[in-house]
Amino acid sequence: MRAGRTAAIAHPAGEAPTRRTADGVRPAARAALAADRSSRVAGRGRTGAGPRPSGLGTGRIESLDLGPFALDSGQQLPSLAVAFRHDGPGPDTAPQVLVVHALTGSADAAGSWWEPVVGPGRALDTTRVGVLCANLLGGCYGTTGPTSVDAATGLPYGDAFPLVTPRDQARAQWALLDALGFERLALVTGGSLGGMVALEVVAERPRATSVAVPIAAPLAVSGLALAWNEIQLELVERYGEEGLDLARRLAMTTYRSEADFDGRFGRARETDGQFSVASYLAHQGRKLVDRFDSTTYCTLVRAMDHHDLGAGRGSVAAALAPLADAGVRLTAVGIEGDILYGPRQVRALVAACQRAGVSARYREITTSKGHDAFLVEWDQLGRILGEALGEALAVR
């Protein structure tokens, strides 16, 4: 459906129909989102183009303006700025690794959310390889997204920011790689949404990547995950910041596991009588509201909803055949107790790869932490990444 058109949504008898625009946002929610956006745009991190970087290996967050960028939807961004961090030697002297962040992450993998596995002497050893991480297209930590200023209006895009997909996000990564002079990747990896984008990075240019390590990422987002995402989108669209708080609380129940919640909280209560698990969820909701943008959250959740490796490529087999022809090796990582994109879905990815002739294997993180184990279980994650990087360097 083209932008600007609307479609009626099924509704119970006796209720007025709800309508969404083609980007999925209910018109009645726009006022709440606009009010939320106007109070949060200032200071939301760098957007737009920054100075061209003088070199790589700086460990700083830098920005490149990559010019116009066409999207799967047929729309075009007049300018795409991408924020990134690169650690270690540049592509002229060493192999390169691309790390892709998850839903609310940033380009600062080496200094923040993946610091235990990126750096000198660590699994992704920056004395041997360069490591690049970029804020995803549609993000709010320096890459063009809803908080960026639309040159046509002089105002932030907000909920007018176009739909983006993991395939768009992967092509934005390649646009940055091209601009930086990266002709080939030894390894691409990421977890959750980052794993989905990592799969698309390889599918876009299979002959330019040796090894892929998608973590907790399926071939396509399942119906149950779509259902959880729909509830989160509804909350944010109706209630703005308050909805983002509630959406995060809901999401946290899918990021962890029954064993983790029982072990950490059980039926314990705080001094005010509140269940400890409720206090934890409230804390997580407030934390995200303090550091993230609600419209960006909806943009990235919708991007995740569109993950389907076989879509537009004829079939899953057709999508994977070029990886087999190029000799790409894939290590897909499942997580014990993950109820979001669990071992069954990851094993299905491996099986599909093997049927298509791709050299693929399955690894599993043993944990009580659930989906978020790729941000917690550093020893296991380090061993898996180290093994994959060793393989990538051997076949380079």
Give the residue numbers marked as catalytic. Answer: 192, 338, 371
118-127: long-range contacts at Cβ-Cβ below 8 A with a sequence spacing of 24 or more? 118/87, 119/87, 122/382, 123/381, 123/382, 123/383, 123/385, 123/386, 123/389, 124/97, 124/99, 124/187, 124/385, 124/389, 125/88, 125/389, 126/87, 126/88, 126/89, 127/88
**In Å, how far are 49, 194, 280, 294, 349 from 134, measured between CA atoms?**
14, 11, 30, 20, 25
Q: Which stretch of DSSP H or E encloses residue 247?
A: helix 223-255
> Phi/psi at 183 (nearest 5 deg)?
-90, -25
d(CA 343, CA 320): 20
**C-beta neighbour count of 53 within 10 angstroms:** 15
- From the centroid of its chain, how far is CA 237? 20
d(CA 362, CA 364): 7
**C-beta neighbour count of 287 within 10 angstroms:** 12
Is residue 88 within 8 Å of residue 131, measured between CB atoms? yes
**Size of the chain, expressed as the number of residues it contains:** 396
- Bridge partners of 188? 98, 212
Max Cα–Cα distance, the chain, nearest Å: 68
User: In the β-sheet with 329-335, what is the strand arrangement from edge to edge?
Assistant: 61-65, 81-87, 130-134, 96-100, 185-191, 209-215, 329-335, 359-365
